[in-house]
Amino acid sequence: MTLPIKRINPQQLGELLVERGIITQAQLSQALEVQGDKGGLIGEVLVELKMVKEEAIAQALTAQYGFPYLPLVNYEVDPEIVDIVPYNVAKQYCLICIDKIGNNLTVAMANPLNRSAIEDIELLSSCSVQIFVSTTSDVRAAITRHYKR
């Protein structure tokens, strides 16, 4: 059963990035305008506008929600663990299974706030899911690397 995601820092992601000096208030306003026009997550908009690196977003999510951050660049995963979630599901939700101990499945994902992704993985795997945050490009590269067999 999935528990609600609790914020440990009440600030919005954009505010947190401004406070940390990663972006300016003007950059945040511009990104919010673009988000209003095109939609999407504010972190993705900021990355797209090249105002911030993906790692800064992942680390801000870590600070905001307490999810651990895991860079996947050199992370090797057991193929049996990867195969718990089919390729199309991993690609759709931008996530990859990285470990399983007993009934606990550890998943690295770019958007740890995607409640339906977590619920789908729990249904597919019959496991309780533990989340790590990784960058979108890290997860996509890991999916390409581990599902190419």
CA-wise closest residue to 49 among 38, 62, 65? 38
Considering the domain architecture, whether residues 101 and 129 belong to the same structural domain is answered as yes
- Say how many domains are in the chain: 2
Considering the domain architecture, whether residues 52 and 92 belong to the same structural domain is answered as no
pTM to 2 decimal places:
0.78
Classify residue 102 by its DSSP letter: T
Whether residue 73 is contained in a domain is answered as: no
Considering the domain architecture, whether residues 143 and 84 belong to the same structural domain is answered as yes
CATH code of residue 113: 3.30.300.160
**How many residues are given for the chain?**
149
Share of the chain above pLDDT 70, in %: 92
Q: pLDDT by residue (tens digit) across 35-66?
A: 999 988 888 899 999 999 988 888 888 888 88
Q: pLDDT by residue (tens digit) across 14-34?
A: 888 898 899 999 999 999 999
